[in-house]
């Protein structure tokens, strides 16, 4: 990247929505994967374990992830490093906050969405995200074809903010987002 983020960093352009329920057609008992993210305290790093439900395939990675500029939650700079189980376990022991979710992949009207239903303290929270090739494509995208409220610009719905939070703690933010 010519802008100083480094050779191995890439940009993600994504929108995020709050959903009242899983979109029609998704089987609540058949997610694609279980994802555990551990956000390392005092850093912009997380370690992720993604377990594919059907195959049992596991991916571990260390991710450096941050907005391109303050408040630009739709433009993320990201660098991934794939880990061995031993490396993952070592990073996982560092102080941090976790978030666990089930993910479904949903294709509708030519677009692919990641649908996340959070577990444990965040049970009841459901979000969707969609990635785009460019920021221009993101800005031109229509709303999703299911009930959703755009929360892309709400920092409390980013992964790092959700880690360690509870549904009860988010209740005011959820109500505020839905009343817009």
> 47: which 2 tokens?
């370690």
Q: 153 vs 25, 38, 107, 129, 150, CA distance in Å? A: 28, 22, 24, 13, 8
Tell me: pLDDT of 1 over 50.
Answer: no
- 1 in a structural domain: no
- 130 in a structural domain: yes
- 2 in a structural domain: no
Rounded to whole angstroms, the Cα distance separating 163 from 107 reads: 27
Tell me: pLDDT of 180 over 80.
Answer: no
Domain harbouring 21, CATH code: 2.40.320.10
Q: How many domains does the chain have?
A: 1
Q: Cα 31 to chain center, whole Å?
A: 15
> 115: which 2 tokens?
């649908």
- 3 in a structural domain: no
28-72 pLDDT, tens digit per residue, is 999 999 999 999 999 999 999 999 999 999 999 999 999 988 888
- 22 in a structural domain: yes
- 5 in a structural domain: no
Of 10, 17, 2, 7, give the one whose Cα is nearest residue 149. 17
- 4 in a structural domain: no
Of 49, 22, 25, give the one whose Cα is nearest residue 37. 49
Q: 81 vs 21, 58, 155, 162, CA distance in Å? A: 33, 14, 25, 22
- 88 in a structural domain: yes
Query: How much of the chain exceeds pLDDT 70, in percent?
Result: 97
Whole domain around residue 72: which residue ranges? 10-178
Q: Do the beta carbons of residue 17 and residue 128 sit within 8 Å?
A: yes
110-134 pLDDT, tens digit per residue, is 999 999 999 999 999 999 999 999 9
Tell me: pLDDT of 8 over 90.
Answer: no
């Amino acid at each position: 990247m010519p802008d100083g983020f480094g050779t191995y960093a890439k940009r993600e352009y994504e929108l995020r929505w709050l959903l009242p329920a899983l979109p029609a057609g998704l089987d609540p008992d058949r997610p694609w994967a279980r994802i555990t993210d551990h956000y390392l305290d005092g850093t912009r790093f997380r370690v992720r374990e993604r377990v594919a439900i059907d195959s049992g395939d596991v991916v571990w990675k260390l991710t450096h992830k941050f907005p391109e500029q303050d408040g630009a939650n739709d433009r993320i700079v990201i660098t991934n490093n794939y880990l061995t189980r031993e490396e993952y376990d070592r990073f996982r022991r560092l102080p941090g906050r976790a978030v666990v979710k089930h993910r479904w992949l949903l294709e509708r009207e030519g677009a692919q969405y990641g649908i996340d239903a959070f577990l444990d303290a965040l049970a009841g929270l459901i979000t969707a995200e969609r990635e785009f090739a460019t920021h221009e494509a993101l800005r031109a995208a229509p709303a999703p074809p299911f009930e959703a409220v755009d929360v892309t610009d709400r920092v409390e719905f980013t992964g790092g903010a959700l880690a360690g939070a509870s549904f009860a703690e988010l209740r005011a933010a959820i109500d505020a987002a839905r009343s817009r």
